[in-house]
C-alpha cells in the first residue's frame, strides 16, 4: 500500500489516500526454508558440479 497526498477538487476532497502499487523485485527477500524468515542468497557448487542457491542465514539449499 502506498499513501498518496491529494489536493481537494470539486469532485473529491483532499487528504491522504491509500492505494495499491507495484513492488520492484529487488525489494522482495527470499524465504529461508528452515525457519521461514527473510534471508539473503548465496551460491554453492556441489560435488557433482551443479551450482545451487543457498540461504545465507541457515546454509540450506533453496529448491526451485
Q: Give per-residue pLDDT as tens, 21-41.
A: 999 999 999 999 999 999 999
Q: State the pLDDT at residue 15.
A: 95
Predicted confidence (pLDDT) per residue in 8-18, tens digit: 999 989 999 99
**Whole-number Cα distances in Å, 34 to 1, 4, 21, 23, 62:** 29, 38, 30, 25, 10
Q: State the pLDDT at residue 56.
A: 94
64 pLDDT above the threshold of 80? no
Amino acid at each position: 500500500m502506498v499513501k498518496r497526498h491529494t489536493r481537494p477538487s470539486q469532485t473529491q476532497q483532499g487528504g491522504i489516500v491509500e492505494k495499491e502499487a507495484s513492488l520492484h523485485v529487488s525489494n522482495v527477500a527470499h524465504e529461508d526454508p528452515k525457519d521461514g524468515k527473510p534471508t539473503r542468497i548465496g551460491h554453492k557448487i556441489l560435488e557433482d558440479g551443479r551450482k545451487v542457491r543457498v540461504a545465507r542465514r541457515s546454509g540450506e539449499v533453496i529448491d526451485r
